[in-house]
Amino acid sequence: MDRYERIFFWFSAAMLGVLLCALAYVTLGMHIHLPGPSGRIIPRAGQNLGAAVLSTPPFNHPGLRQTGPGEYEVVMLAQQWFFYPRRIQLPAGANVTFRVTSADVTHGFFIPGTRVNMMIIPGYVSVETYRFSRPGDYRIICHEYCGLDHHTMSAEVMVK
């Protein structure tokens, strides 16, 4: 084996070792994991998923609820080609838990300028908590192609 090949081989092996150690530290030491579904909606026999979602609490009454001082929960439905509710109004500094599901196809749930970024899979409940510290208008967009009018699928969070 040539000297340069040997150097390249050992350098590559060392880099793989460093990256595996970093991955282990982030996963085990910092407890950072990929988000998983926090719930699932399973239709009864003879019932389609759309009917199951619309009859399962809290998705049978989507909207904004105050759960405590400065704490809110937003229950949303993602459906071709809209989010419901379309507008959410919150006070600045509020902690908001988004609870979102879909009854038809896979959607995305992304709020630019924040770390809120979820994949909305039909029948699975996705949950993300975020604190809106600055007033402003934040747009929610679908970042997963969901059909012909995908580009029109959005909602708005107004923080006052």
- pLDDT, residue 145, reads 92
pLDDT of residue 129: 92
- Mean pLDDT across 35-43: 76
Is the predicted pLDDT of residue 110 greater than 80, yes or no?
yes
Q: According to the model, what pLDDT value does residue 33 have?
A: 66
Read off the pTM: 0.75
* Domain residue ranges in the chain: 1-33, 39-159
The per-residue pLDDT for 54 is 86
| Residue 140, pLDDT above cutoff 80 | yes
Please tell me the class of the 39-159 domain.
mainly beta
Mapping DSSP onto H, E and C, the string for the chain reads CCHHHHHHHHHHHHHHHHHHHHHHHHHHHCCCCCCCCCEECCCCCCCCHHHHHHHCCCCCCCEEEEEECCEEEEEEEEECCEEECCEEEECCCEEEEEEEEECCCCEEEECCCCCCEEEECECEEEEEEEEECCCEEEEEECCCCCCCCHHHCEEEEEEC
